[in-house]
Chain A
Amino acid sequence: MSSCRHCGLPAKAEFCCPGCESVYQLVTSLGLGDYYRNRTEAPGAPPEPVPSSAHYDRPDLQALYADGPGFHLLLDGLHCAACAWLIEHAVERLEGVESARVNYATSRLSVSGSMSLGAVVAAVGALGYRATPYRPDGREGHSDRTLLRRMAVAGFAAGNVMLLAAALYSGASQDEVFSRLFHVASLVLVLPVIFYSAIPFWQGARNALSQRVLTMDVPIALGLGVTFITSTIDTLRDQGPVYFDTVAMFVFVLLIGRYLERLARGRVGSALERLLALQVQIATLEDGSEVPTAELRPGMRVQVGPAGRLPADGTVVAGQAYLDEAMLTGESRPRAVAPGDRVMGGSLDLDGLLLVEVTHSAAEGILTALARRVEEAQSRRAPLQRLADKAARRFLSVVLSLSAVTLALWMMYDPARALEVAVSVLIITCPCALGLATPLVVAVATGRAASRGLLFRGGEALEACRAITTVVLDKTGTLTEGRLTLVGQPDRRWLRLAAAVERCNPHPVGLALLRAWGDEPLPAVDQLESLPGLGVRAVVEGRSVVVGSPRLIPAELESQVLVQVDGQVVAGYDLTDELRPEAREVLERMRARGLKLILASGDRSSNVEEVARRLPLDEAYGSLLPEDKYVLVRRLQASGERVAMVGDGVNDAPALSAATLGIAVENGTELTCEAAGLVLRRPGLRPLEEAFGLAEQAWERLIVNLGVALTYNCIAIPSAMAGLVSPLVAALAMPVSSLAVVLNSVRRFR
């Protein structure tokens, strides 16, 4: 058994399917065969059929997405850096393209030149990736750049001020002229740090105070403000301790922490922007003319052919077909629809031609309603009270009262130095280590997780993961494989004929039969005829074979799929979506951790009960609509549970975004990943368990970090109260505590 030269799946010949072969031919004919040598990972799946991209050449759609002389596209299916290389070079070969740049980190392609949008989408599609144009949000990336600039200014100032400070500490302060000069120069250098670099801390503190909560920003802003003001006054008076070096370094280090945390969060677009990827751009009307989907109105009739997605919600008027609604409902079995049935926008037509009367315009359809729900739930979710913020509150009250005590005691003992000493207490406790404790652990832990295929969206997700008490699981695609398999051991004699007939059918049932058959050769078929919504008919080895539903083949057998050979019903197959093999084991361990497990599925209740019998679950609910799942999550939260929701379908998206932690599993759609705080990029349930373990370790490390910061303060505060802290002591003590926090954070994770 060899493997396919393109996708790497087992194949009998060089290629597993014509799709892979055509991609391979294209790549080598472009002179980009290096792709196959450079890639570190094969796609692992044949390319999807390339959907038509001609509609992107319409002037109205081109104008919608144009950004100067070019376009921006979201890419789907990138799996290693060689993919980015391949796409860039293939697109650059197109007529009129000036430059093509793939941002590997965010899976985005920017093209500039005079080419048409359709040509770019088609070229990327031909390579086996999917490209969807999007309109970049103007603010996107802007805040990252500003943060980098703030960091650079702080670093520049910190370097120079520390140089001057080193000269002062090593004796320059003895000379009156130099001392004056260096102090004034330091003041000038620190001004941009305070009035530009430190803006996030001022803003954070102001927001926190206006909302009457205490976050980490408040003690930081207080320390910064007090240190800067007293040092400035002392510089102008030309006497007393000056702490400018500490101020600059403090801001620089904290901004580095912020930046690392930002990197860990990744870039997030709006849910509605992502939704465009699911929506059809152009609908074909009854008379064959095309209109943008946005212009569809109730009452209009649209045509949908095989492999097309329905542009809007509606009712079938004519035609029969199987619809794949897995993305919307989570049901893996395709649904047969006939005239009179209601259908949902976004469902995939598997085989037949349908004429659908639109009942809701795209803006009122189910998909849009789901996306709205996601955005709403995200904005309403109460943020988890973060540990660092809790620590900040205690810390601030302790430091303020100790400063007051110091001031009072020194007033009795030496009134001249009282204020100076009280201020030094505030300065030395400047929570550098405390401010770094969380960002560093988050950055290291999320980076470590990402390399294992677990994508945490920032520190909130990491902290939430540890605090979870209840896990709500979706069935299809989460607990199960998300694809159909045959029940039992069928008679190979008939399976051979049935599989041969289904070989060219992209239908999930056909794929299930082919998988059950395996890799042995299949006989050739003649006169293949697809009966949309019913089944397939063909002639194999001179015998007439029909494979289809009971509606096509009336029989006494109670099976979902029947096989008829020469007019005789010879076999019936039942299909099921298999449970993942590790499901039981993993769920048992999660239960042993004290988690409550609840199954919530859009699937029929009978199927759900079947699963619930075989797995250690606390509760199980079937036939849930997306709205019901959302309500379930909120009800659990209202009863005091911290809920993690695990799911993959668009139908899970509202519940995912409402949950304390939304977890999207592998092959989740864009919208699902958008709604989730944690995305598992590897199949199965083991990554879920790993994520919980990693979050636990990160938490332990966070506690140690806070402990280090606390220990530092236990030594520093009494020294400051005793009046022993000079600018030199502060300049040495603060980096030491920060370094301890850094070292603890970057230790290897198990």
Chain B
Amino acid sequence: MNVIFYLLPLAIVLALVGLAGFFWAVSDGQFEDLEGPRWRVLFDQPASQPERRAS
């Protein structure tokens, strides 16, 4: 048999893995806010993490 008979399903399975990853990202809410994250990376974490403020 030709190698294509193995490779074709394999390629599709690999693509399905990618698709599953995308589904997970959608369920995780990663596409909810397309504006904030691109700014978020530019801001440093606060330098000091002082003791928690009592509410």
Measured CB to CB, the residues of A under 8 A from B are 30-32, 34, 38, 81-82, 84-85, 89, 93-96, 102-106, 115-116, 119, 122-123, 141, 144-145, 148-149, 152-153, 156, 159-160, 163, 178, 181, 185, 189, 263
Contact residue among B12, B22, B43 (Cβ-Cβ distance under 8 Å from A160): B12
Chain A: minimal CB distance from B16 (Å): 7
Contact residue among B32, B36, B55 (Cβ-Cβ distance under 8 Å from A95): B55
Asked whether B33 lies within 8 Å of A106 as measured between CB atoms, the reply is: yes
What are the residues of chain A within 8 A of B26 when measuring CB–CB? 145, 148-149, 152
CA distance in complex: A93, B39 (Å): 21
Q: Which of B7-55 contact A (CB under 8 A)?
A: 8, 11-12, 15-16, 18-19, 22-23, 26-27, 29, 31-36, 39-40, 42-44, 46-50, 52-55
CA distance in complex: A116, B55 (Å): 9
CA distance in complex: A141, B33 (Å): 11
Residue B4 is within 8 A (CB to CB) of chain A in the complex: yes
DSSP class of A's interface residues: helix, strand, loop or mixed?
helix
Asked whether A32 lies within 8 Å of B46 as measured between CB atoms, the reply is: yes
Chain B: minimal CB distance from A514 (Å): 35
CA distance in complex: A161, B54 (Å): 59
CA distance in complex: A472, B32 (Å): 36
Asked whether B53 lies within 8 Å of A93 as measured between CB atoms, the reply is: yes
Residue on A with the closest CB to B47? A31
Contact residue among A84, A89, A141, A156 (Cβ-Cβ distance under 8 Å from B15): A156
Chain B: minimal CB distance from A162 (Å): 12
Asked whether B31 lies within 8 Å of A82 as measured between CB atoms, the reply is: no
Asked whether A31 lies within 8 Å of B36 as measured between CB atoms, the reply is: no
Further contacts, 9 of them, CB under 8 A, given A85-B40, A106-B32:
A94-B53, A104-B33, A105-B36, A141-B29, A149-B23, A149-B26, A152-B26, A163-B11, A181-B4
What are the residues of chain B within 8 A of A115 when measuring CB–CB? 55
What is the total number of residues of chain B having a CB less than 8 Å from a CB of chain A? Answer: 34
Asked whether A104 lies within 8 Å of B12 as measured between CB atoms, the reply is: no
What are the residues of chain B within 8 A of A156 when measuring CB–CB? 15-16, 18-19
What are the residues of chain B within 8 A of A148 when measuring CB–CB? 26, 31
CA distance in complex: A611, B40 (Å): 47
CA distance in complex: A713, B21 (Å): 39
Contact residue among A93, A102, A145, A185 (Cβ-Cβ distance under 8 Å from B36): A102
CA distance in complex: A31, B5 (Å): 61
Asked whether A34 lies within 8 Å of B18 as measured between CB atoms, the reply is: no
Residue on B with the closest CB to A172? B4
Chain B: minimal CB distance from A444 (Å): 16
Residue on A with the closest CB to B27? A145
Asked whether A95 lies within 8 Å of B33 as measured between CB atoms, the reply is: no
CA distance in complex: A263, B54 (Å): 40
Asked whether A152 lies within 8 Å of B55 as measured between CB atoms, the reply is: no
What are the residues of chain B within 8 A of A178 when measuring CB–CB? 4
CA distance in complex: A116, B54 (Å): 12
CA distance in complex: A96, B53 (Å): 10
What are the residues of chain A within 8 A of B44 when measuring CB–CB? 34
The 9 closest A-B pairs by CB, nearest first: A81-B39, A104-B36, A119-B55, A105-B35, A103-B33, A31-B48, A95-B55, A152-B22, A156-B19
Residue on A with the closest CB to B50? A31
What are the residues of chain B within 8 A of A104 when measuring CB–CB? 33, 35-36, 39
Asked whether B55 lies within 8 Å of A82 as measured between CB atoms, the reply is: no
Residue on B with the closest CB to A153? B19
Asked whether B53 lies within 8 Å of A81 as measured between CB atoms, the reply is: no
Asked whether B27 lies within 8 Å of A123 as measured between CB atoms, the reply is: no
CA distance in complex: A153, B43 (Å): 35
CA distance in complex: A359, B16 (Å): 63
CA distance in complex: A119, B55 (Å): 6
Chain B: minimal CB distance from A255 (Å): 14
CA distance in complex: A25, B4 (Å): 69
What are the residues of chain B within 8 A of A34 when measuring CB–CB? 43-44, 46-47
Chain B: minimal CB distance from A248 (Å): 13
What are the residues of chain B within 8 A of A102 when measuring CB–CB? 36
CA distance in complex: A96, B42 (Å): 27
CA distance in complex: A104, B40 (Å): 10
Residue on A with the closest CB to B34? A105
Known contacts A102-B36, A156-B18, A30 near B50 by CB under 8 Å: yes
Contact residue among B5, B31, B43 (Cβ-Cβ distance under 8 Å from A38): B43
Asked whether B39 lies within 8 Å of A152 as measured between CB atoms, the reply is: no
Asked whether B31 lies within 8 Å of A145 as measured between CB atoms, the reply is: yes
Chain A: minimal CB distance from B29 (Å): 8
Asked whether A95 lies within 8 Å of B54 as measured between CB atoms, the reply is: yes
Residue on B with the closest CB to A167? B4
CA distance in complex: A132, B18 (Å): 39
What are the residues of chain B within 8 A of A106 when measuring CB–CB? 32-33
CA distance in complex: A141, B27 (Å): 11
What are the residues of chain B within 8 A of A189 when measuring CB–CB? 12
Residue on A with the closest CB to B39? A81
What are the residues of chain A within 8 A of B34 when measuring CB–CB? 105, 263
Asked whether B46 lies within 8 Å of A31 as measured between CB atoms, the reply is: yes
What are the residues of chain B within 8 A of A141 when measuring CB–CB? 29, 32
24 contacts between A and B (CB under 8 A): A30-B46, A30-B50, A31-B47, A38-B43, A82-B39, A82-B43, A84-B39, A84-B40, A85-B40, A95-B54, A105-B35, A116-B55, A119-B55, A141-B29, A141-B32, A144-B32, A148-B31, A152-B26, A153-B19, A156-B18, A160-B11, A160-B15, A178-B4, A185-B12
What are the residues of chain B within 8 A of A81 when measuring CB–CB? 35-36, 39-40, 43
CA distance in complex: A106, B43 (Å): 20
CA distance in complex: A102, B35 (Å): 11
CA distance in complex: A240, B19 (Å): 32
Contact residue among A32, A105, A152 (Cβ-Cβ distance under 8 Å from B23): A152
Asked whether A152 lies within 8 Å of B19 as measured between CB atoms, the reply is: yes
What are the residues of chain B within 8 A of A31 when measuring CB–CB? 46-50
Contact residue among A103, A105, A116, A181 (Cβ-Cβ distance under 8 Å from B8): A181
Chain A: minimal CB distance from B36 (Å): 4
Known contacts A84-B36, A105-B33, A96 near B55 by CB under 8 Å: yes
Asked whether A38 lies within 8 Å of B49 as measured between CB atoms, the reply is: no
